[in-house]
């Protein structure tokens, strides 16, 4: 350690000097004394580290008080915060996937803030089941005999395999041995469930006879997995749900279909060629598994829809208790499914469907108006324009589909676009967006009209 460093360490202010600094003393009434003391100590500790690393010059009590205050303010903020999604990725897994509709969010809040008949039969005045709130409704929308919900689709897959296929062989095509991310892999889930995986076919081609020749007394089910986050293209072949269902039923086996995305209505006119849940059931799948927060547009959940006998077995399995969703999630799920009673209304009210089906012209118009507003509010510090972009569904759905979209492009004059993006991210109402070719891009497809005011304030705030 050189002399300068040693001298600086010695000159660091004492804790009581920092606490006596007017800036800190003035604000500290809002926080418990213990918390303020901890913040002051931590400020001094970080200054000490900086001195040792040779990167600090100012070791005044004012500076320590400033750092302590910053930490106190930080501790006041919630950790899990609402953000504005300017990325154009509609089901951004890192940003919480689907946004709920207003009515689903209201149902969630209503169930959470009071008591409810979660497990109480109001007609009979005795104990009921939490599954009853959605089973019949999901059946009505999808055509399934019965349905239940668990915490997510990974849980749904584990439960179905555990309850229906324990100690049996389950046939899966080699082209469908997926990894979804965050350690969800079909072979791993299979191992945990107690079923054993029987791979059939090849990576690019699996024929009906590949399944057929592997069926024996030890076989428990055929599992089809929607390759939702990648596509195998070229010289390929897989077997349709219809043909697989026929084969399974001829051999007295169930066909389980892990569909992933949970699309309920046809969105082909938006370029989205994904299988729907009603179609999969109609084609003969005995159990269809899908996420609540992907293309369904509801809360995080895993939904299992299909034959009553299997659903009953799953409800009684010990894992069902381990994976059961809470009342707030069930309330949001019920409300989301209720909206599908009228598909036109569902497309209008469910944000995920709204964002997917919004026309590029409307988004362009919204971007132009917003760019104009930002230009007026931030003269001389930043230039704004409107550029065409490519959005995505995200969340492991329709990986090859680029969606035509429009973004407001910002080119700040005094800071770099990367610096502006980083300030937006750390703003009190955080904004997440990308930088491309020297421009900061705010994709207007994933920004709600109701968020524009907050977004404008954030932009002005970080340019100030």
**Are the beta carbons of 177 and 190 closer than 8 angstroms?**
no
Which of 9, 401 has the CB closer to ligand PLP? 401
Centroid of chain to Cα 295: 11
Per-residue contact string for residues 356-395; x = within reach of ligand PLP by CB under 6 A: ----------------------------------------
What is the closest distance, in whole angstroms, from the C-beta atom of residue 156 to ligand PLP in the complex?
A: 8
Contact status: 184 vs ligand PLP (CB under 6 A): yes
Contact status: 87 vs ligand PLP (CB under 6 A): no
* Angle CA 231–301–90, to nearest 5: 50
* Residue 230, CA distances (Å) to 71, 177, 179, 318 in order: 43, 11, 10, 33
Among 36, 51, 170, 225, binds ligand PLP (CB under 6 A): 225
**Among 464, 384, 452, 460, which Cα is nearest to 84's?**
452
The DSSP code for 318 is H
Contact status: 44 vs ligand PLP (CB under 6 A): no
Contact status: 258 vs ligand PLP (CB under 6 A): yes
Contact status: 262 vs ligand PLP (CB under 6 A): no
Which of 108, 444 has the CB closer to ligand PLP? 108
Among 111, 154, 392, 407, binds ligand PLP (CB under 6 A): 154
Q: Cα separation of 52 and 1, whole Å?
A: 8
Q: Cα separation of 398 and 32, whole Å?
A: 51
* Angle CA 262–266–267, to nearest 5: 95
What is the closest distance, in whole angstroms, from the C-beta atom of residue 173 to ligand PLP in the complex?
A: 13
User: How big is the site for ligand PLP, counted in residues (CB under 6 A)?
Assistant: 14
What is the closest distance, in whole angstroms, from the C-beta atom of residue 149 to ligand PLP in the complex?
A: 11
Piece of the chain touching ligand PLP by CB under 6 A; list 76-84, 152-160, 366-374, 450-458 = 152-160
- Distance spanning both ends of the chain, measured CA to CA: 41
Among 28, 87, 142, 152, binds ligand PLP (CB under 6 A): 152
Contact partners, residue 3, CB within 8 Å, separation at least 6: none
**Are the beta carbons of 405 and 433 closer than 8 angstroms?**
no
Per-residue contact string for residues 265-304; x = within reach of ligand PLP by CB under 6 A: --------------------------x----------x--
Nearest residue by C-beta to ligand PLP? 260
Token pair, residue 105, equals: 């969010």
By the criterion CB under 6 A, which residues form the site for ligand PLP? Answer: 152-154, 180, 184, 225-226, 228, 258, 260-261, 291, 302, 396
């Amino acid at each position: 350690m050189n002399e300068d460093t040693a001298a600086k360490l010695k000159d660091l202010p004492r804790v009581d000097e920092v606490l006596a600094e007017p800036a800190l003393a003035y604000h500290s009434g809002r926080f418990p004394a213990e918390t303020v003391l901890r913040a002051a100590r931590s400020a001094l500790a970080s200054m000490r580290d900086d001195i040792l690393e040779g990167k600090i010059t100012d070791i005044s009590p004012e500076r320590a008080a400033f750092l302590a205050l910053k930490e106190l303010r930080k501790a006041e903020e919630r950790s899990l915060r609402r953000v504005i999604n300017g990325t154009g990725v509609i089901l951004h897994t890192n940003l919480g996937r689907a946004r709920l509709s207003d009515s689903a969010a209201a149902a969630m809040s209503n169930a959470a803030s009071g008591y409810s008949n979660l497990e109480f039969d109001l007609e009979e005045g005795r104990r009921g089941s939490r599954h009853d709130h959605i089973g019949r409704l999901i059946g009505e929308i999808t055509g399934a005999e019965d349905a239940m919900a668990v915490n997510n689709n990974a849980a749904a897959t584990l439960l179905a395999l555990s309850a229906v296929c324990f100690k049996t062989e389950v046939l899966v095509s080699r082209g469908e041995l997926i990894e979804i991310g965050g350690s969800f892999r079909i072979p791993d889930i299979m191992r945990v469930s107690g079923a054993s995986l029987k791979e059939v076919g090849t990576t690019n081609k699996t024929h009906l006879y590949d399944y057929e020749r592997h069926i024996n007394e030890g076989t428990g089910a055929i599992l089809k997995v929607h390759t939702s986050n990648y596509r195998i293209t070229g010289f390929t072949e897989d077997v349709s749900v219809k043909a697989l269902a026929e084969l399974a039923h001829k051999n007295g086996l169930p066909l389980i279909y892990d569909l992933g995305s949970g699309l309920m209505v046809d969105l082909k006119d938006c370029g989205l060629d994904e299988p729907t849940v009603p179609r999969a059931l109609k084609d003969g799948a005995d159990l269809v598994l899908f996420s609540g927060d992907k293309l369904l547009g509801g809360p995080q959940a895993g939904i299992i829809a299909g034959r009553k006998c299997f659903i009953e077995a799953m409800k009684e399995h010990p894992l069902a208790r381990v994976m059961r969703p809470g009342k707030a999630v069930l309330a949001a799920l019920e409300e989301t499914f209720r909206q599908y009673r009228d598909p036109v209304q569902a497309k209008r009210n469910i944000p995920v469907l709204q964002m997917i089906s919004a026309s590029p012209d409307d988004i362009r118009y919204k971007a132009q108006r917003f760019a104009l507003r930002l230009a007026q509010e931030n003269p001389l510090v930043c230039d704004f324009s409107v550029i065409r972009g490519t959005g995505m569904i995200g969340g492991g759905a329709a990986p090859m589909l680029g969606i035509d979209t429009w973004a407001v492009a910002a080119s700040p004059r005094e800071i770099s676009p990367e610096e502006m993006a980083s300030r937006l991210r750390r703003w009190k109402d955080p904004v997440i967006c990308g930088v491309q070719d020297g421009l900061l891009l705010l994709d207007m497809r994933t920004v709600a009209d109701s968020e524009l005011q907050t977004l404008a304030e954030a932009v002005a705030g970080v340019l100030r």
